[in-house]
Chain A
Amino acid sequence: MDTVQKYAPGEHPDLKPPIGQTGVLLWLRKNFFSSPFNVFLTLATLYFLYLIIPPALSWMFADAVFVADSRDHCRELGDGACWGFIEKRLGQFTYGFYPLEERWRVNLTFVIFIFALLPVLWDKMPARRKWIWVPLVFPFVAAWLLLGGFGLEDVTTDQFGGFMLTMVIGVTGIVCSLPLGILLALGRQSDLHFIRWLCTGFIEFFRGVPLITLLFVASTMLNYFLPPGTSFDLLLRVLLMVSLFSSAYIAEVVRGGLQAIPKGQREAADAMGLKYWASMRLVVLPQALKISIPGIVNTFIGLFKDSTLVIVIGLLDPLGISRASLSDAKWQGLSTEVYVFIALFFFVCCFSMSRYSIYLENKLHTGHRN
């Protein structure tokens, strides 16, 4: 009966660990059922998910209508979301009122934009240094392609709209606000009283008021500051305001980075005989910017999201387009579908930006923070 086997010392074969101490079971127990409260939390969450997810999925996919002619047609075909509306208006959502036969120019600009981004973002790109001129030339090429002139048909900026307008505002704002923000941050840290006072005033003003009021200023009040009878393009005014606005935020982020750099770094650079700009460019800023990357990217994400605010002064970004098309009697009452669609677009853009910033942060994290 007794089948206990005798083993010589050291000869016993390895036993399996007790059930529930390894693998899936352990993970389950640790994460979901470690205490009565945890069990309750798990069950409550599962119930909550059960309430939310199946209806949401069936609204989005199972009951949804993907091709339809009008809202009533949609309602006949299914109870879910009416994506037929988006499908019908996709061109407008993407290009706004950009002339139909010229839309290839927007597409081409976008393709070049991707190529211009590669040498900037992809650090292991083969022959990266050879391609660095692409992003430098890109703004001029993009302006030529989008606006026309020199052999291309002219397109006025009030025809810009949709996601294309969002990209124009976002990219221009990002490109202009970073250098300006760095200069402002240096100015705010400067020993020269007047410069410091000026930069502080500028930053505090732009951080203290909402962007929407600045856009109103751009659309209604800016003409008062120009010589009588002159005016410039509304989109240009908006770009100016957006850039100034986000440069104030960038300045504060960079200032945080500058303050984190020990004084000794600057003093060592002085001792080496470096002039102010050289010591900033070679010693202080590379370290300060490295620390401020997450903040800078957050500001960029904020800027990208804030580009939707141009709707209040009548520019036709995706939200403006959706408002215009929702007032069409054929499609009334479909606001949820449209806004969910726009939300998804922004989520994809902003989430990938924030993921990239985390990647960059890890890559540049060369210090020894235990």
Chain B
Amino acid sequence: MATTFDTNGPPKSSFSVSKLWTDKKSRGVIVQIIAMAIFCAVLAYLANNVVDNFEDLGKPFGFGFLQQPSNYDINQTLIEYNSQSSHGRAAVVGILNTLLVAFCGIILATILGFILGVLRLSPNWLVNKLAYCYIEFVRNVPVLVHILLVHGILVHSLPHPKQAIGVADSFFLSNRGFYMPQPLFQPLFWLVILAFVAGLIYAFWYKRSARIKQAETGQQSPVFWVMLASIIGLPILAYFLTGFPIEWQLPEQGKFNLKGGMAIKPEFLALWLALSLYTAAFIAENVRSGILAVSKGQSEAALALGLPRKRTMNLVVIPQALRVIIPPLTSQYLNITKNSSLAIAIGYMDIVATIGGISLNQTGREMECMIIVLSLYLFFSLTISTIMNWYNKRIALVER
């Protein structure tokens, strides 16, 4: 009878609880469901606590306080700000200060890092070892100690404004900061900017057409000199033709302080120098390993093909080294941005010191202020890493 065959036939996919755990797929689903349940439960518990706490303290949650006057001053501002401005504006001032020091730090650290990295590879024993000592010493000391040390030296060892170290009566260095002439732009200055933009556009158009020309005919054009002339020469020419539309306001030595001119505060100077010097040591190591990663055969092959040394460097070694250098360089840039938050230790008013520091203490809005600060840093980090990933992809090795 047919029923007797059933026992010997292929096993029925009968359901049993133990099978759910032995089967890889269903086990995965179960584990995920459990994890999700735990995650949601923890989240709900924390959210519940937050709501309870806010109720207990009688504080409403909201960002309305950003419109209230801040009642505190900030010693370095890129936009107009006074103690009557709102907390929101203080936050913007802080963001701009963070971005300023991060941007300047990235540029200086990159330059110093590349120089140090190349010195570290120098065949000259003395130079090589000097760079090694610098890198090892700087890397193994916390960045906060660097910042405090540089700040201490600037504030305690530099002379008072009265005896400021002056160069050509226009640059002064004292413990109140670095003073330099401030440019006052005359109405005609926009022509110079226009010339600069035009030069930039022309330079890149020229570079592109030169590349196409070389691809088609093999003829090379003096790209570097033409670009230099149009980017730098053109604005200078415009500057002369429009009759020098910049006036320089020189700083003067007053009785107690230096007056006029553009001042770089010691806090900014200390943070900027310390971050750059610190990060440069890391970048130098990245640069060194990047250059070492290009095998010697590559440059030998290029020389054998008859390329001159400079073109070997530019066309063969550097592009391949950059491919290794860029990813760690990205994280160094991110580190500068994040480490700039240590500004608070020396009183440079960045985002952590303004909205996450004084505003937080004045308004008692810990939750809202910290949410603003954390999301801003996440935004900076994600932006920098997106840009660098895009650049990295562009120069990455094209493989099959």
Contacts and interface: CB of A to CB of B under 8 A. Distances in A.
Interface of A: 30-32, 34, 38, 41-42, 45-46, 48-49, 191-195, 198, 205, 207-213, 216-217, 220-221, 223-228, 301, 305-306, 308-309, 311-312, 319, 333, 335-336, 339-340, 342-343, 346-347, 349-351, 354
B382 interface: yes
A301 B156 CA distance: 30
Contacts, number: 149
Given A227-B49, A335-B156, A38 B124 contact: yes
Contacts of B374: 209, 213, 217
Contact of B141 (A193, A335, A346): A346
B141 A347 contact: yes
B378 A342 contact: no
Given A31-B126, A42-B124, A210 B339 contact: yes
Contacts of B169: none
B188 interface: no
A49 B130 contact: yes
18 contacts: A42-B126, A45-B126, A49-B130, A205-B378, A210-B341, A212-B344, A213-B356, A221-B370, A228-B49, A228-B56, A305-B141, A308-B142, A309-B144, A311-B144, A339-B145, A339-B149, A343-B149, A346-B140
A297 to B, nearest CB: 12
Interface string B110-128: 0000000000001111110
Contacts of B149: 335-336, 339-340, 343
A225 B344 CA distance: 26
Contact of A210 (B56, B124, B338): B338
A118 to B, nearest CB: 23
Contacts of B56: 228
A229 to B, nearest CB: 8
Given A45-B124, A339-B149, 5 more contacts: A205-B378, A209-B338, A213-B352, A227-B52, A340-B149
A305 B145 CA distance: 9
Contacts of B183: none
Q: Max chain B CB contacts within 10 Å: which of A38, A224, A306?
A: A224
Interface of chain A, helix or strand or loop or mixed? helix
Contacts of B294: none
A346 B142 contact: yes
Interface string B350-377: 0010001000100000110010011001
B200 interface: no
Interface of chain B, helix or strand or loop or mixed? helix
Given A221-B367, A224-B367, A305-B143, A32 B148 contact: no
Contacts of A221: 366-367, 370
A51 to B, nearest CB: 13
B209 interface: no
A306 B125 contact: no
A301 B152 CA distance: 25
Nearest to A347: B140
Contacts of A311: 144, 345
Contacts of A217: 370, 374
Q: Max chain A CB contacts within 10 Å: which of B46, B142, B377?
A: B142
B24 to A, nearest CB: 9
Interface stretch (B3-11, B30-38, B160-168): B30-38
B381 interface: yes
A57 B46 CA distance: 57
Contact of A335 (B28, B143, B152, B382): B152
B29 to A, nearest CB: 9
A351 B373 CA distance: 34
B356 A336 contact: no
A343 to B, nearest CB: 4
A213 B344 contact: no
Contacts of B50: 224-225
Contacts of B36: 194
A190 to B, nearest CB: 9
A306 B124 CA distance: 35
A350 B142 CA distance: 10
B197 interface: no
B318 to A, nearest CB: 20
Nearest to B31: A192
Interface in B32-70: 32, 35-36, 39, 46, 49-50, 52-54, 56
A38 B345 contact: no
Contact of A225 (B46, B137, B142): B46
A223 B53 contact: yes
A364 to B, nearest CB: 19
B127 A336 contact: no
A111 to B, nearest CB: 25
A251 B241 CA distance: 60
B165 to A, nearest CB: 17
B49 A224 contact: yes
B342 interface: yes
Nearest to B131: A45
Nearest to B351: A213
